Amino acid sequence: MDKKLGQKDQVSAARNPDTAIDRALALATSKILRTLARLLLRHGVSFHAFADLAKRAYVDAARGDFGIPGRKPSTSRIAVLTGLTRKEIQRLIDSASAPDTEASERYNRAARVVTGWVRDKDFCDADGQPVALPLDGAKTSFAELVRRYSGDIPPRAVLDELLRVGTVEKLPDGHIRLVARAYIPRTSDRDKLAILGSDVSDLIDTIDHNLHRADEPRFQRKLMYDNLSREAAAKFRELSAARAQGLMEYLDSWLSQHDRDVNPAAEGTGRVRAGLGVFYFEENLQANTEEQ
């Protein structure tokens, strides 16, 4: 756990709050980057490549979030905000590529189908368990499931995706059986990394919101104990997964009633993206010490 500030540091921080915030932000950023650097190195991403990505992110944020109302963002203003040269900024703008939304859209569509399969009684047995479905030709078919929860996407395309990541399997009689109660890519690093970008950015956005909008806080909690046995941690891993999955299915059922893609009759104005993320974490604090 982090060491607390000493008495002199506390006095200094009280006298100079900006310095205290800068130090806290630097420490938080270092922790984030340390974890991110490990992932990037594991995938062979050099510091030079990361630095270029960071520059692009700074330029995109300056252009999209720090503009002056009624004015087109200029390279000069972006240079003042980011510290980059105008030449470098123009290079990044000229070489910017369109965002890759394919993986995100594929994730959302497939996730809707799986959660619909889990909670919709039309596709479950008397005990509430998802049943194996014929591909088509019946009221409770896989094709009907896709039509109900994924709009106009061809059932075969959704099936191929779920087979690819190991969420379903095809039985000898041609029926489709659900293997996992949630759409979690198991074999595709590309899709797992797409989830990394989506989920981590959502978490940071929530923290940023809570720092600047204390009047409208978003739910953000973390539960942690740091002196558990390996056996207790293993039991908690199973318990938390089961309870969290139940919560996700309950909230999904509520949200689907208000999402106009799933329920065109849902009323209301505007268009908002909202959800809740839950994740498990674990760290071995005794990795380099003698067993007790």
Q: Is the pTM of this model over 0.75?
A: no
The residue type found at 108 is N
Q: Which pLDDT score, from 0 to 100, does residue 47 have? A: 92
CA dihedral 176, 178, 182, 185 (to 10 degrees): -60
Q: How far is CA 237 from the centre of its chain?
A: 20
In three-state secondary structure terms, 269 is coil
Which residues is 133 bridged to in the sheet? 176
- CATH of range 102-178; options 1.10.10, 1.10.3110, 3.40.1350, 1.10.357: 1.10.10
Q: Is 59 exposed, middle or buried (0-12, 13-18, 19+ CB in 10 A)?
A: buried
CA distance 28 to 19: 14
Give the contacts of 73 (CB within 8 A, at least 6 positions apart). Answer: 62, 63, 67
Q: Which pLDDT score, from 0 to 100, does residue 197 have? A: 79
pLDDT in tens, the chain (292 residues): 444 445 455 445 455 667 888 898 899 999 999 999 998 898 888 999 999 999 999 999 999 888 888 888 889 999 999 999 999 999 998 887 655 556 666 677 888 899 889 888 899 999 889 999 999 887 789 999 998 888 778 899 899 889 888 889 999 999 999 998 877 766 556 667 777 778 888 999 999 999 888 889 999 999 999 999 999 999 999 999 999 988 988 898 899 889 888 788 899 999 999 999 998 999 888 764 444 4
CA distance 85 to 249: 49
How many CB atoms are located within 10 Å of the residue 71 CB?
Answer: 8
Q: Where are the domains of the chain?
A: 7-94, 102-178
Give the contacts of 231 (CB within 8 A, at least 6 positions apart). Answer: none
Q: Which pLDDT score, from 0 to 100, does residue 141 have? A: 93
Contact predicate 152/200, CB 8 Å: no
